[in-house]
Amino acid sequence: MPEASTTNPNSADALIGERALSKLKWRCRRGLLENDLFIERFFARYESSLTVRQAEALGVLMDLSDNDLLDLLLGRKAPEGDLARDESVTQVLGLLREAPSNVSP
C-alpha cells in the first residue's frame, strides 16, 4: 500500500507521500511508448493531488499487459470484470484518457 503524506496514513483519500510517488512512477514505466505518453501526461497533471486510493487503482492498471492497457487507454476495449466493478480503477482510467487541454477537439 502506498505511504500517505497526511496525518492519517490509513485514509485511502490521503495524498501519497513523495517516496511512494517515486516508487509508483518507477512501477508505471511501460514497454510501449504510447502507454508511457498517457502515463507521463497523467503524472504531469495529477501527481500533486494523487491519493492513496488512486495510486492503488493505477497499480491495478499497471498489472495489465502493455497491449491490454493500451486498448483500455485508447477506448478500444471497455474495462471488464473486476476492473469494471472497481470505481477507483474506472476513475483513474478516465483521468488517464483525458485529452490534453491545449489540443482542440
Q: Are 34 and 67 in contact, with CB atoms under 8 Å apart?
A: no
Question: Would you state the pLDDT for residue 15?
Answer: 94
CB 54 within 8 A of CB 92: yes
- Of 53, 47, 86, 93, nearest to 70 by C-alpha is 93
For residue 13, the model assigns a pLDDT of 86
Look at the domain 18-97 and name its fold.
Answer: DNA polymerase; domain 1 (1.10.150)
Q: Is the pLDDT of residue 12 over 70?
A: yes
Task: Give the pLDDT confidence of 70-99 residue by residue, as tens digits.
Answer: 999 999 999 999 999 999 999 999 999 987
Query: Sign (positive/negative) of CA torsion 99, 52, 62, 72?
Result: negative
Cβ atoms of 58 and 40 within 8 Å: the answer is no
Q: What are the domain boundaries of the chain?
A: 18-97
Q: Decide if pLDDT at 31 tops 60.
A: yes
